[in-house]
Amino acid sequence: MRHLLVTLIFSVITLGRTFAASPPRPNILWFIVDDMSPHFSCYGEKTITTPNVDRLATEGLRFTQAQVTAPVCSPCRSALITGMYQTSIEAHHHRSGRGIVHLSLPTGVEPVPALFQRAGYFTCIGNGQPGKRDERGKTDYNFDWDPGIYNGSDWAGRKEGQPFFMQVQLPGGKLRGDTSETAAKLSARAARELGASTAPDTVTLPPYYPRDPVLLQDWAAYLDTVRLTDQHVGQVLERLKQEDLMENTLILFMSDHGISHARGKQFLYDEGTRVPLILRGPGVPRGVVRTDPVSANIDAPALSLAAAGLPLPAKMQGRDLLAPDYAKRRAVFAARDRCDETVDGIRSVRTARWKYIRNFYPDRPLLQPNVYKDQKSILQTLRRLDDTGKLTELQKRLLFAPKRSAEELYDLSADPDELNNLAARPDQEKTLLRLRTQLDRWMEESNDLGREPEPATTYDSDMAAASGRKPNQNDLQANIELMKRWATERPLKVHP
């Protein structure tokens, strides 16, 4: 008996030492930025410098081919917070489920903060700069969810020693607003806070945008939003350092989609889907660059849960990018569906070299009427230049053709701006068929719910919810009626 007692005491002491020696569970901190492409110095941007994001890249892991699964806020964020393709959970229409018709997550799918919270983490969402008020950050999920999955707006509210899962939500490209006036105000703010603003004549535009003063001013203001974002990141990093949290915090930096511009946000060209993705912290290699395609928004939850030692839900479609046995993706997929009142359906598959895009509504123009985008000075300017014949043939063809090709194929190694559609080229027939088959397989295996038109009751519910909070009500109602008419005149075509 005495021997047994001694053995038990020794075992308890040994277990206690083992437990005490175990490293604490890492904190998880996400920087999620609105409307921003990889225009950072570490990604090759020359017009501005971004020392704080560059520091993350130097001290961590940078992905050069990170893509999101949706090029607009709410579908992307719905995917981000679940680790699921938005098309698999009925969250694929932008700002859906906001009216009398509500959407619920499928059985077995939960928001990631709920998983962290159940594991003892303090879950929070804010701007990383605690104030007197509990100001929570952007969510924008297209399904019903319990606000209780967030304990607060900042990790300052946690218990002593409690690990946290924090989302630092930053407005990013939205800071410049929609008009030339708001862009000018942003530039003035940059001059005050950063010492100087970006000069419009120094910016480089993609070849499908004309060097018009309005577009140059807007792009310069956008680059200043990148600089202000970098400044904010630096302030949060300094706070982590001062609180002795840097070395036990897994930091993830990404945006929810690319720049809000004519061919960017809402579309599946790289301008809309390619995002920055940088990781730093425990278990992350330092100073490493990965060039394999990844699905940033659905992979972020998987790698974060794994870093915390938590199991991945069986249904989760994201992958742990840091797993020792991680098998690199051969391709990544993206989808665009209805954005506000504007009905569309686009799918893409992207490999390291190729991009294949399928348009479900080829009989409709790329830039369909859309109140959100048409209120922007840059879109109004582009339409004016088109009306007055001042666009180049390339710009007019890519932006204002009355119809689209059912299929688009781009060789990104030779054509990174996606200017030359090779889908009709006989010498690319094998590549086209391979990618077409890959996309068909993904839509089937992922149960892509966008293969069927949105029910009229759901559309009407969301449009009723949008009415009253949207500007330009007359334009909105006209667009809604146009969409309903086109539903019969220019219907969905899932297969080319």
pLDDT in tens, 300-326: 999 999 999 999 999 999 999 999 999
Supply the DSSP symbol for 416: T
First-last CA distance in the chain: 80
Q: Is 122 left (phi over 0), alpha (psi -120 to 50) or beta?
A: beta
Mean pLDDT of 442-469: 94
pLDDT at 10 over 60: no
User: Could you give the 3-state DSSP secondary structure of residue 342?
Assistant: strand
pLDDT (0 to 100) of residue 22 = 64
Which strand (E) or helix (H) includes residue 409? Answer: strand 407-411
pLDDT (0 to 100) of residue 470 = 63
CA 32 to chain centre: 8
pLDDT (0 to 100) of residue 440 = 98
| Residue 17 one-letter amino acid | R
Q: Are 197 and 224 in contact (CB under 8 A)?
A: yes
Q: Are 372 and 421 in contact (CB under 8 A)?
A: no
pLDDT band at 23 (very low <50, low <70, confident <90, very high): confident
Based on its alpha-carbon atoms, the radius of gyration of the chain, rounded to whole angstroms, reads 24
pLDDT band at 420 (very low <50, low <70, confident <90, very high): very high
Mean pLDDT of 235-241: 98
Separation CA 246–CA 27 (nearest Å): 9
pLDDT in tens, 74-83: 999 999 999 9
pLDDT (0 to 100) of residue 2 = 44
Mean pLDDT of 169-197: 98
- Percent of the chain with pLDDT strictly greater than 90: 92
pLDDT (0 to 100) of residue 353 = 98
| Least trusted range by pLDDT, from 18-32, 198-212, 350-364 | 18-32
pTM: 0.94
pLDDT (0 to 100) of residue 20 = 41
Mean pLDDT, the chain, integer = 95
Mean pLDDT of 233-242: 98
Q: Are 423 and 404 in contact (CB under 8 A)?
A: no
| Domain architecture of the chain: domains with CATH | 26-321+328-496 (3.40.720.10)
pLDDT (0 to 100) of residue 472 = 81
Integer angstrom CA distances of residue 445 from 91, 148, 438, 488: 17, 33, 10, 29
Mean pLDDT of 437-454: 98
pLDDT in tens, 331-344: 999 999 999 999 99
